[in-house]
Amino acid sequence: MRPAEIERISVRQAVDRYVELVRAKTVTGQFSPATAEVYCRDVQTFAELAGPERVLDDLDGADLDAVLLAFARRPDGRRRRDARAEEAARPGRASQSAASQARFRRSLSVFFRHAVTAGWVQLDPMRAVTVSARDRGGLRAERRALTAEQAGGLLAAAQRMAASPSTARRRDQRTELRDALVVVLLTTVGPRVSELTRANVEDFFVNDGERYWRIFGKGGRTRDVPLPRPVAALLDAYLAEGRPLLDRGVEPKALLLSWRGRRLARGDVQAVIDRVLARVEPSRRRAVTPHGLRHTTATHLLAAATDMDAVRRVLGHSDLSTLSRYRDELPGELEAAMRIHPLLHERRR
């Protein structure tokens, strides 16, 4: 139920209250810490772009259009410096990806729906937004999943990295086995990046000769995912040879450690992927994010006619409708499907 009167608070005050509410919801399990972090970061960016001292209820659709445009041009801090410099040299082009822009817009929509209920605004200004994707830089959501050739090149590079001698001067800074394991797990098992960095050594176990990973996912749900044998072998090599070099006794449970001996941070995972990508031959190389590798897992399992419910359980989705968003088109898959059309081939006797 909405309050009878509108409380004319500043953008900064509204954002601070909202952030406090979102963080409180992580305690009750309504939001995962990763989801809460994204919402909080986006609304704090909104306050910076909209003007923290402005009255929230004074913002209209034109103001939100300006915020969306400003966010689209905002440099992406996750990208390498050379990439940001190249973007800066192209004025008028969007720096944020289409996925980041869509996520930011969703975060603002959720924020303003709460603002209406809380009595901070009379009307939701997001309903009056008119700026289009073309205005924001013409970006369209691209296929996130790697093709079989691209994914094969990435996995081959990871295996070569695991097998090659380290170039690090200090023995305790050798991370090749760890980097290879990160990329192989992301590409073949498709965990969320938060699930990967939260993983502990004790989460991996053997049952009836099969290696499993107990993944602690969203909403307190867990799933036991069997690891393919090459992945299990790489995991064992890392635990026996790679992790002991990084272990400083600071994080005795964490699976993935930085060279300082602390749990690998979510923000470090993209840098790990980029290091492995640098070893992929250029003809098979394509930039990809951790979430893009999750799409890759889903897409190729489904393309191989794996049962949809099994893929859902591997990825940790609560229902099949979510899985459909992770299925990207692959080059040549329609042609392959029509070549083996079941109605045009004689039945085997």
Q: Which residues are catalytic?
A: 192, 218, 291, 294, 317, 326
Specify whether the backbone of 327 is left (phi greater than 0), alpha (psi in -120 to 50) or beta.
beta
Burial class (CB in 10 A: 0-12, 13-18, 19+), 268: middle
Could you tell me which of 163, 194, 192, 167 has the C-alpha nearest to residue 177?
163
Q: Are 68 and 131 a contacting pair, CB within 8 Å?
A: yes
Beta bridge partner(s), residue 65? none
3-state DSSP call for residue 99?
helix
**Other residues' Cβ atoms within 10 Å of the Cβ of residue 40:** 18
Q: Are 200 and 140 a contacting pair, CB within 8 Å?
A: no
Query: Which amino acid is located at 100 in the chain?
Result: S
